[in-house]
Amino acid sequence: MPGDDAKVEIDYSALRRQLDEANALLEGTQKVSPERRREVLGARARALAESRHEERQEVLSVLAFQVGGERYAVRIEHVDHVLEARGIASLPGAPRHVLGALVSRSRVVPVLDLRQLLGLEGGGMSDLGKVVVVELGEESFGLAAEGVEGRKELPRTELSQPPPGPFLFLTQDRLTVLDLEQLGGPSGALPEGE
């Protein structure tokens, strides 16, 4: 064969030096240079950031809650916090879907009754134990809920088209993700019939 006559030059001294450096690093007798350390850590950080970004693209993070015997959720980036539904003051002359207002973090927040907005069954105020305070642009408002399930990570591949209304997605286990923009907040609630 023609390749048998060709000899490959091997630099044994360079190989021995690399082996000695690797062994010294393993034994802890040699330190990694600060530049090399930054380079390795930077590469690891980029790899982690890319993998987390990919995960976020594949799931939708929401806060799930119950109201009117149904399960709803809002995207987690809109959730400010969750409060006990104590101290809601009535607002005379407010539309039926506005339960009242409460003071939250030094500001007055109107509280919406999704049962009225979405035509759900439900009892009185005593059934509503929590208020999910959400932010939509500059506006903050609360959504009264019977209970809060907590944060959920919904795989985007399992989300389907919801029924008509102020909804973004529907899951296989009947969790409906609300579209806060379509919901309209306290000032622009859904017109009658939707």
The whole model's pTM is what? 0.65
Residues 29, 88: one domain? no
37, 47: one domain = yes
pLDDT for 12 equals: 86
Q: At CB < 8 A and 24+ separation, what contacts does 145-149 make?
A: 145/65, 145/66, 145/67, 145/72, 145/114, 146/65, 146/66, 146/67, 146/68, 146/122, 147/65, 147/66, 148/63, 148/64, 148/65, 148/82, 149/64, 149/65, 149/66, 149/71
Over residues 15-43, the pLDDT tens digits come to 888 888 777 777 766 666 778 778 877 88
The pair of three-digit structure tokens given for residue 95, joined into one six-digit string? 């539309």
Mean pLDDT to the nearest integer, 129-141: 91
Rounded mean pLDDT, 129-152: 93
pLDDT per residue as tens digits for the range 168-184: 999 999 999 999 998 86
Q: What is the pLDDT of residue 31?
A: 67
pLDDT higher at 33 or 67 = 67
pLDDT (average), residues 162-171: 91
User: Which domain-ending residue is among 57, 73, 91?
Assistant: 57
User: Is the residue at 3 inside a domain?
Assistant: no
Specify whether 66 is located in the same domain as 160: yes
Is 70 exceeded by the pLDDT of residue 6? no
Range of the domain at 66: 58-183
Of 86, 187, 72, 75, residue with least CA distance to 139: 187
In a domain, 62, yes or no: yes
pLDDT at 68: 87
pLDDT of residue 57: 58
Same domain (yes/no): 48, 72: no
Phi, psi dihedrals of residue 91, rounded to the nearest 5°: -120, 95
Average pLDDT over residues 38-60: 74
Are 51 and 71 contained in the same domain? no
Q: What is the pLDDT of residue 193?
A: 42
Total tally of structural domains belonging to the chain: 2
